[in-house]
Amino acid sequence: MILLEKPVLIDTLSSKMEGRRVCLLAVGNPLRADDGVGPAIVRALSKYTPPVFLIDATTTPENVFSEIKAAHPDLMLIVDAVNFQGQPGDVALLTPDQFQASNLYTHRSSLSTFTIALAELAGVSEVLILAIQPARLDFGLPISAQVMATLNTLVELMQIILPKTRNVLDLAESPVQDLTTPGGFQETTNVGGNWETER
């Protein structure tokens, strides 16, 4: 597991993504506070139409398997809220093996099986999980301030990195869903890489 310290975040993601055909897959439940961070990131990026396949799989990534297989990306980057015992808003980069072998809490047991299938059946060269430490997962609450700050920073960095990726041919329409939740998902401005948050 690579815990992405703030100063090297963009370098780490750039080294993995630039020049590759990337599929960015969001997993999470927008009704459960910080669990909606992945779908919120994909929705924000969909406005910029970068050369990347954006998918909001909510809590059933296995349902979009055929779309991923058809796009045949080099890199599958799964964005999800994962409790890896960090501080709220921290970001870690996990390989599928690390994800499966660890005792990390996940409320989506199917994600481990899904990552194996991506490599073995869909021919995806590399699968990585961009894990964001949640502060809360309560039903009906909005995304926390700490995770929202991370969300804004990741969206800003992705706007820099994604144009440097290769186009995924035969791009299907991205099934980005309505993220209106109790408490409301609020559009926010980028924070300019400022990671100062209240803990």
Structural domains in the chain, CATH included, are 2-164 (3.40.50.1450)
Cα–Cα distances in angstroms (integers) from residue 135 to residues 91, 141, 156, in the given order: 12, 11, 21
**Percent of the chain at pLDDT above 90?**
34
User: Residues near 63 by Cβ (< 8 Å), separated by ≥ 6?
Assistant: 57
Answer whether residue 10 shows pLDDT above 60: yes
Answer whether residue 62 shows pLDDT above 50: yes
SS3 content of the chain, % helix, strand, coil (to 5): 35, 15, 45
The pTM of this model reads 0.78
- Position 95: which residue type? T
pLDDT in tens, 130-187: 999 999 999 999 999 999 999 999 999 898 888 888 886 544 444 443 333 333 333 3
Note whether 149 and 42 are within 8 A (CB).
Answer: no
Higher model confidence: residue 198 or residue 50?
Answer: 50
Average pLDDT over residues 49-76: 83
Average pLDDT over residues 57-69: 84
User: Which residues are registered as beta bridge partners of 25?
Assistant: 55, 78
Residue 151 pLDDT: 95
Cα–Cα distances in angstroms (integers) from residue 35 to residues 60, 114, 126, 173, 194, in the given order: 13, 18, 24, 24, 22
Answer whether residue 98 shows pLDDT above 50: yes
Cα–Cα dist 118/109, whole Å: 15
Cα–Cα dist 25/53, whole Å: 8
Which of 102, 97, 90, 196 has its CA nearest to residue 133? 90
Cα–Cα dist 192/199, whole Å: 19
Note whether 2 and 15 are within 8 A (CB).
Answer: no
Residue 47 pLDDT: 79
Average pLDDT over residues 103-123: 66
Answer whether residue 192 shows pLDDT above 60: no
Note whether 34 and 137 are within 8 A (CB).
Answer: yes
Higher model confidence: residue 60 or residue 51?
Answer: 60
Answer whether residue 86 shows pLDDT above 80: yes
Read off the pLDDT band of 52 (50, 70, 90).
confident
Cα–Cα distances in angstroms (integers) from residue 48 to residues 10, 14, 56, 134, 154, in the given order: 18, 18, 16, 26, 14
Q: At what angle do helices 37-46 and 145-161 cross, to 10 degrees?
A: 40
Average pLDDT over residues 102-112: 58
Average pLDDT over residues 92-108: 69
